[in-house]
Amino acid sequence: MREFLKFLTQNFTATAVIIIIAMIIIPLPQLLLDIMLIFNLIFSLLILLNVLYSNKPTEFDIFPTLLLASTIFGLAVNVSTTRAILRYGANLNVSMIHAFSGFVVGGAKGNQGVVIGFIIFIIIIALQAIVITKGATRVSEVAARFTLDSMPVKMMAVDNEYTSGAISEDEAQTKKTEIQKESNFYGAMDGASKFISGNVKLGILITVVNIIGGVIVGMIFNGEPLTDPRGGGALNTYIKFAIGDGLLSQIPALLVSTAMGIIVTRAASAGDLSEQIMEQLFRRGSNIYWICASVLFLLGIIGLATSSFPWQILIPMAVLFAFHAYRTGRAQKQEAYNKEVMAKTKDQKDEKTVEYPAVVPLDALSLELGYGLVPLVEKEKGAELLERVQAVRRQCAIDLGLVIPMVRIIDNSILDPSEYCFKIKGVNAGRGKIRLGYYLCINPGTAVSEIEGEKTVDPAFGLPATWIEQERRDEAERAGYTVVDPPSIIATHLTEIIRRHAADILGLQNTQTILDTLRKEYPTVVEEALRERDGRGMRVTDIQKILHGLLKERVSIRNMVSILEAIADYAPHSKNIWFLVEKARQALASQICHQYADEDRKLRVLTIDPALEQKIIDSRYETPNGIICALDPPTQKAWIKAVVKAVSAVKEKGWLPVVLCSESARYLVKNSTDRELPDLAVLSVPEIVQDIIPEAVGVIKIETESAEGGSIPTEQME
């Protein structure tokens, strides 16, 4: 028996479908019909109660499926009862049908009871078809349309919250799932409501068939008269049975359609329905109930004087409303007093604790907008900037191997309306001004004509640019200009900010997170780099400094395995951060070379005069913060001048300037030119891999003074 029940439980849906089909085809015993009618009624009541006690509509998301199941089951029962009515006639012994037909008659006898019952049945059918079902169907259609239309806006609002840092990625995914679930629910409700309206129409048809078919069967096959003044006859009998059967089919449908109306009208609310009714209907201001009590009392006095209104009912009701108004007023006064006391207590606590404010951590990366640029992040306007910011974070994670923290976007009234500002840990990292409704035109060197407009500077790279109207965009593109819209300007500037300040963004906690993530798949590599077993390895802060050294020169740290392997190899020999940065670069040699090489795998480089390179090496000076190039001021000035001239000559030929030197000089060359040429790439000889062909395009030399006081340029370009 237990195994049989387990089988039924596991295959409940399939079993139910087979039973419903069998009910339509196979005649059922009258006792079983009573059971099915009772179950149909209770099943519909269960659905209604579940709807009433659901906190929100989507909590009962199986409702559309249950609505369909209850409708089909009710129709199957209706078909079975129709067969029984036509088969047994006056000898029908289905107690539920007899009971409901007797309820509707209401104690009247004979043909009068049949007429009363028929009228009441018509009213119930009209209530079901015209009021509840039609209204619920219309509400479900509107709810489905508005829910589907608002879904993109809700999704963008979630993206806005996620981008601004208000919610985590998991919370954003959960909210998006809820929005999708809500959309699917109301879409299904829109279709499921059609089953209820069809059920009502079919119920009317089955009732008519029961009456007409019953009269025909009773008169022709059973020999009954059409009518009998004493209350008998085929018409009387079959109308009574048809009414009882119709009620037994329509009352469950009425319960389900009522549940449907309730669930689709609760789209904007959440929480227990009973609590909402009590809160919003009976706990409002006391003035409402004083007015109701006054009206009832006035009508009661008029009824007492004129014997027109039932004053015995009106005056007690007025007293009840007055009592409720009195209690509500007292409760509101007490609540207002409690709030006032709590506010005073809170102010006192704030005064006591004002000397010890909480320290709020600064955002790793934030974007402040003037009020004129707020439409770029408003969900009603499409929030295009939010999507661009997310795309930038994803792309930088791929290019740099650094997971960029969420960019908090806030408005700042201090900024000009058209100004924006990037901040890294509260420090200004870049700003610019843009004009909404205009496009920024930049000449990439291929423009064939000058375009008129407001002259400006590209905020990301400082290139000359021009603001033009939207209507002239095609004209500018045909002229060979690069045309950029306002969201793209900010996104491009953000990308450049991240690349320049990636080392500032990478914190100690971020480094620990990277190591913890790698530990799951490469535990040996992490353990060897940190040497945790003997406590003689690199600290996490040392790893962070090495990664800073790579990121400052825009070297991606995505290949963390190779970086840690290099640290594990050379850390036992030296803990010098500069030395380990160079070894990490050599481990990433292929990545670095291909970053600067041409499509034909040629790496065009500037070399340094050996004597000058040795002078740079000799100027090495150790400081607590690392090594620096300490050339004397005249030599430093001449060195920078020579590098700038060589780099300019390379750029004029359309090549990317890259300086190639020895391993011991590489960091010093970069350190000495970082202020004037922060984007200059400096490679060492060990970083050149076999598949890359280096081609020297110039030699950097310092100009020497001639005997007559003139200068002789010794830096040459090949």
Same structural domain, 567 and 524: yes
pLDDT at 717 over 60: no
Same structural domain, 583 and 596: no
Element (H, E) at 411: strand 408-411
Same structural domain, 93 and 170: yes
- Residue 308 domain flag: yes
pLDDT at 707 over 70: no
Q: Distance between alpha carbon 700 and the CA centroid of its chain, in Å?
A: 55
Q: Looking at per-residue confidence, does 261 or 364 come out higher?
A: 364
Tokens representing residue 398 in the block: 């791929």
Q: Domain of 533: which CATH number?
A: 1.10.8.540
- Residue 446 domain flag: yes
pLDDT of residue 706: 39
What is the Cα gyration radius of the chain? 42
**Cα dist. 33→36, 100, 245 in Å?**
5, 14, 11
pLDDT of residue 226: 67
Taking the C-alpha atoms of residue 276 and residue 338, their distance in angstroms, rounded to an integer, is 23
**Among 613, 614, 552, 607, which residue's Cα sits nearest to residue 577?**
552
Same structural domain, 659 and 678: yes
pLDDT of residue 152: 76
Asked if 680 and 657 count as a contact pair (C-beta separation under 8 A), the reply is yes
pLDDT at 164 over 70: no
pLDDT of residue 313: 83
> pLDDT of 216-240, one tens digit each?
777 776 666 666 655 566 667 777 7
Same structural domain, 552 and 513: yes
Average pLDDT score, the chain: 80
Q: Looking at per-residue confidence, does 691 or 348 come out higher?
A: 691
pLDDT at 705 over 60: no
Asked if 579 and 567 count as a contact pair (C-beta separation under 8 A), the reply is no
pLDDT at 712 over 60: no
pLDDT of residue 682: 94
The domain boundary residue, chosen from 480, 501, 522? 501
- Residue 256 domain flag: yes
Same structural domain, 555 and 435: no
Same structural domain, 407 and 468: yes
Same structural domain, 136 and 240: yes
> pLDDT of 187-206, one tens digit each?
777 666 667 667 777 777 77
Q: What is the mean pLDDT of residues 512-522?
A: 90
Q: Looking at per-residue confidence, does 42 or 138 come out higher?
A: 42
Taking the C-alpha atoms of residue 177 and residue 154, their distance in angstroms, rounded to an integer, is 11
Taking the C-alpha atoms of residue 74 and residue 198, their distance in angstroms, rounded to an integer, is 12
Position 423, amino acid: K
pLDDT at 716 over 70: no
Confidence of residue 172 (pLDDT cuts 50, 70, 90): confident
Contacts of 194 (CB under 8 A, 6+ apart): 137
Tokens representing residue 289 in the block: 């109930």
Q: Nearest 10 degrees: CA dihedral of 33, 37, 42, 48? A: 150
pLDDT at 281 over 70: no
pLDDT of residue 284: 63
Tokens representing residue 706 in the block: 């001639």
- Residue 180 domain flag: yes
Strands 408-411 and 366-369: parallel
Could you tell me the residue range of the domain that residue 206 belongs to?
Answer: 30-267
- Residue 18 domain flag: no
pLDDT of residue 119: 74
pLDDT at 147 over 80: no
Confidence of residue 273 (pLDDT cuts 50, 70, 90): low
Same structural domain, 130 and 239: yes
Residue with tokens 């934030």: 366
Q: Looking at per-residue confidence, does 92 or 655 come out higher?
A: 655
Work out the percent of the chain whose per-residue pLDDT is above 70.
81
pLDDT at 714 over 50: no
pLDDT of residue 10: 67
Asked if 300 and 315 count as a contact pair (C-beta separation under 8 A), the reply is yes
Other CB atoms within 10 A of residue 130 CB: 11
Tokens representing residue 333 in the block: 């006064």
- Residue 680 domain flag: yes
Q: Is 321 exposed, middle or buried (0-12, 13-18, 19+ CB in 10 A)?
A: buried
Strands 693-700 and 602-608: parallel
Taking the C-alpha atoms of residue 475 and residue 666, their distance in angstroms, rounded to an integer, is 47
pLDDT of residue 276: 62
Same structural domain, 526 and 654: no
The neighbouring-strand residues paired with 430 are 422
Confidence of residue 12 (pLDDT cuts 50, 70, 90): low
196-200, 511-515, 583-587, 705-709, range with the lowest pLDDT = 705-709
pLDDT at 178 over 60: yes
> pLDDT of 304-332, one tens digit each?
787 777 878 888 888 887 887 788 778 77
The domain boundary residue, chosen from 501, 531, 553? 501
pLDDT of residue 713: 47
The domain boundary residue, chosen from 469, 501, 533? 501
pLDDT at 583 over 90: yes
Q: What is the mean pLDDT of residues 602-626?
A: 89
Q: Looking at per-residue confidence, does 659 or 267 come out higher?
A: 659
- Residue 705 domain flag: yes
Same structural domain, 659 and 629: yes
Contacts of 342 (CB under 8 A, 6+ apart): none
> 3-state DSSP call for residue 542?
helix
Q: What is the mean pLDDT of residues 284-290?
A: 73
Residue 556 gets which letter from DSSP? -
The neighbouring-strand residues paired with 421 are 368, 431
Same structural domain, 716 and 680: yes
Q: How many helices (H) and strands (E) does the chain have?
A: 25, 17
Q: What is the mean pLDDT of residues 469-489?
A: 89
> pLDDT of 537-565, one tens digit each?
688 999 999 999 999 998 999 999 999 99
Asked if 658 and 681 count as a contact pair (C-beta separation under 8 A), the reply is yes
Taking the C-alpha atoms of residue 502 and residue 551, their distance in angstroms, rounded to an integer, is 6
Confidence of residue 292 (pLDDT cuts 50, 70, 90): confident
pLDDT of residue 34: 84
> pLDDT of 337-370, one tens digit each?
777 767 766 555 554 444 444 455 678 889 999 8
Q: Looking at per-residue confidence, does 376 or 110 come out higher?
A: 376
Residue 631 gets which letter from DSSP? -
- Residue 376 domain flag: yes
Give the count of domains, the chain. Answer: 5
**Among 96, 99, 98, which residue's Cα sits nearest to residue 31?**
96
> pLDDT of 615-672, one tens digit each?
999 999 888 777 889 888 899 999 999 999 999 999 888 888 999 999 999 999 998 9
Asked if 271 and 240 count as a contact pair (C-beta separation under 8 A), the reply is no
